[in-house]
Structures are given as C-alpha cells and as structure tokens.
Amino acid sequence: MCFYMQMKDPKPKVEARFKVQASPESLWPQSEYFNGFSFPKIALITDTAPHQLQTNFSWGLLPSWAKDSDFRKNTLNARLETLTEKPSFKNITHQRCLIPANAYFDWHWLDPQGKAKQRYCIHTSEELFAFAGLYSCGQHPETGETINTFTLLTTAANATMAFIHNTKKRMPVIVKREDELRWLNHEIEPKALAFPYEVPLLAFPY
C-alpha cells in the first residue's frame, strides 16, 4: 500500500524531468512527507493534459456518489486486481494520471503481535519517478464546489516490498520511464502493470 510519499524537488526540476509545464501562478505542493490521510494537494499529470503539471488535485479519490469527503480515506489506493469491480473505481478506469515523487514510505512489522515496526523510505535509482493513478473531477458533497481527486494504483509486492510490507505484501505501481507516456496515452492496460511488472526499488530505514 502507499499512504505516505515525498516530493521535495522544486517545480522546474519536475517540469524538466517529465517535459511538462505548470501554471506560473500555481502554488507548488512540496514536502518531505505527505500524509495521504490529510488529503493533501499533490502535483500530477493527467491523460487529458499530458504536457501540463496540475497542482489542484487532492490525494484520496472522491466518487460522485460519496456522501461526505471523509470517504477519501478509503480510496487513497486502488487495487489493480479489483479496479473493474469496485464502485469507487470501475467507472473511471479510463481517467489516468501520473503522480511524480521522490520517494514513498512504508512500515516493516518487527513482531508477530504487530506492536513494533520500522519505517522505511523507498525510492528508485532515479531521483524522480511516477506512480500510476486514476483521477476524478466532481462536486464536493458538502460545499458543492468543484473538487479534483486521485488515487494510487497498487499491486502485489516485489521481493523488496514483500520484506518491508510483510503483512499485506502490497506496493504502489511505479511506471517505468519508457512507459509513462504510454500509460497516459492508453497504450497499456491497467492489468499489464501488475507484478511482475516492476521498477527496481531501494529501501532504507527512516
């Protein structure tokens, strides 16, 4: 799973890496440690604007039928295996995005009782990579205002993440650099990103 991530690089560096541009007036969401459960705004790239870095999307997908915004705590992640079955995701599998990041965080449980754990910082050999995600644009159920939200796709863990995430053994889908535009252009089906599709990961206690 993935509920915590890092985007610490400045906007120009991210623009150069992904060959995109953000609006000059947009605030840049930058943090060593984004907590998904606070539903932060995080920069992403959508399939409808593949050359634009958008900064008005909040983590935690809000389906159109949700009665309150706290529902998003259930949709920070979306399992690849059940995308077409879950009401939250089955109608938006065509609404694809990339979420640039420097790293993400997960915990390794040190004892069977689940009372002691070690946090790890996980990243790739590149300074910047991108998670695969889905997005939604709709109305806030409480205010009626437009709200843009997204979720990260997850798959079965590779060897590194099976050791770290040693309970559910899941990991977020990180798109290979050569597949990033292919994902946005709908040239890759979601199921093709399921493990054993993977990007090698590096992990360190944090």
Q: Determine the average pLDDT of the residues in 62-76.
A: 93
The reported pTM is: 0.95
CA 42 to the chain's CA centroid:
9
* 100 within 8 A of 44, measured Cβ to Cβ: yes
* Residue 1: per-residue pLDDT: 81
- Domains belonging to the chain, first-starting first, are 4-20+31-101+127-157+171-198 (3.90.1680.10)
* Residue 153: per-residue pLDDT: 98
The Cα–Cα gap between 41 and 146 comes to 14
Tell me what the pLDDT averaged over the chain comes to. Answer: 95
Strands 77-79 and 146-156: parallel
* 56 within 8 A of 97, measured Cβ to Cβ: no
CA 170 to the chain's CA centroid:
13
Q: Determine the average pLDDT of the residues in 93-97.
A: 97
**How many Cα atoms are found within 13 Å in the side-chain-facing hemisphere of 198?**
16
Cross-strand pairs, 120:
106, 205
10 Å Cβ neighbour count for 174? 27
The Cα–Cα gap between 148 and 51 comes to 18
Greater model confidence, 118 or 141: 118
- Whether the predicted pLDDT of 60 surpasses 80: yes
User: By three-state DSSP, how is residue 69 classified?
Assistant: helix
Backbone angles phi, psi at 153, to 5 degrees: -80, 145
- Whether the predicted pLDDT of 143 surpasses 90: no
Sheet containing 202-205: give its strands across.
Answer: 31-35, 4-7, 103-109, 117-123, 202-205
One DSSP character per residue, 14-68 reads: HHHHHT-EE-TTS----EEEEEGGG--B--EEETTEEEEEE--EEES---TT-SS
pLDDT one-digit tens code per residue, 148-188? 999 999 999 999 999 999 989 999 999 999 999 999 999 99
CA distances from 176 to 83, 98, 141 (A): 21, 11, 36
Residue with tokens 């399992």: 79
Residue with tokens 């910047």: 128
- Whether the predicted pLDDT of 20 surpasses 80: yes
